[in-house]
Amino acid sequence: MGIYSILLFTSVFIFVVLVCTVDHRSLHKWVFGVQMLWQTLCHIFLQYEEFYQPQLVLAVSSLMLITQRVTSVSMDIQDRRLTLSLNGLSLSESYEVLLPVISYILNFTALLGGPLCIFAHFVSFIEGIDVNPPPNPSCVVSVKLVQVFLLEYLRYSFLLIVNYTYNSNLIYGVISMWAIAMVLRLHYYAHWQISECLNNAAGLGFCGTKAGCTDWSGLSDGGFWVTESSVCISEFARRWNATTANWLRRLVYKRCKYFPLPLTFGFSLWWHGLRVGHCIGFSIWAATVNVDQYIQRNWLPKLSAAWMKAICVSLSWITTQIIITYVDDVNPSASELQI
């Protein structure tokens, strides 16, 4: 990131200052407001410089992930899951309190691509790594790297479809648009899988043993088959970039008494940078999720015949693919929740 890494260190410095000076009961409001103001200013600056400074793009993307972490910590403090009181502590004791938080915010294994790890899990892992270390992750990392190569090969296959169907008739044009959207999404899946491998290699994400096999799925933003098999748009929204979706649900959706769904997508739009493509993409996504939830509540329970439910599920999956394809083609980075 070069000189632009100062954007990240400035964000961490501001958070530490707020922790030291603001009452814990209002800390989350201050952290949320100041951090989003700082990130918005960086997004505005990015719009003028991104074609000339790729390091700035990387820095702002990492800043978005830092926003997730500082607000997660502030929500933990507000919900009394975490205590960060520095009153009456000496300088060295204050360091002991703050260093785990700073280490969590700047954790390099998830700084460039996620996923979002809960602070309590991060601290528990660090404190227990000597007492109860996770098993050797070499095997699972190797398997996931093979999956990355398969995803890249699949992405290359869709690129061939795009080249073959480009400038053809209407049917081929529809197939080409769907293939372009799949190319974009497969890029995200491969990126998330690499990030998951990096975290697993460091020992993060271990969930114990299930049926005699080690489970390393504790830090995952969603797999290709699970996400793409979603039969409705609301299900796709929950599975796509799962840790960020959970963060948005906790930060906005559960805290809003009125209009939680549009406000959640509206904040996600703000978090992504408020670009024109984002506005169109997220508006369409929010509207279709709202319609889908209405259908799931009021229409589907009335279907009694199995064949009718099968047809409805099939049409719902096709509709989901069409909507996500349109959102992707309108704005590639509106495939929610990560630059």
- Maximum Cα–Cα distance across the chain: 74
Cis amide linkage into residue 115, ω under 30° from 0 = yes
Is residue 12 a contact partner of residue 105, using CB atoms and an 8 Å limit? yes
Q: For residue 333, give every residue at least 6 positions away whose Cβ sits within 8 Å of its Cβ, in sequence order, or none.
A: 272, 277, 278, 339
Q: Return d(Cα 217, Cα 221) in angstroms, integer.
A: 9
> Which residues does residue 88 pair with via DSSP β-bridges, in sequence order?
none
Calculate the alpha carbon distances from 313 to 177, 222, 307, 317 in Å.
23, 21, 10, 6
Q: Quick one: which of 127, 324, 158 has its CA closest to 241?
A: 324
Is residue 113 a contact partner of residue 192, using CB atoms and an 8 Å limit? yes
Catalytic residue list contains 241:
yes
Catalytic residue list contains 272:
yes
Interior angle at CA 62, CA 81 and CA 33, nearest 5: 55
Alpha helix (H) ranges present in the chain? 6-21, 27-49, 54-78, 91-105, 119-128, 138-165, 170-201, 224-228, 233-239, 242-251, 260-272, 276-298, 306-330
Q: Quick one: which of 106, 85, 76, 118 has its CA closest to 19?
A: 85
| Catalytic one of 43, 272, 290, 331 | 272
DSSP 118-154: PHHHHHHHHHHTTTSPPPP-HHHHHHHHHHHHHHHHH
Question: Exposure string (b/e) for 186-220, b if CB count within 10 Å is 16 or more?
Answer: bebbbbbbbbbbbbbbbbbbbeeeeeeebebebbb
| Catalytic one of 28, 43, 199, 241 | 241
What amino acid positions are annotated as catalytic residues?
241, 272
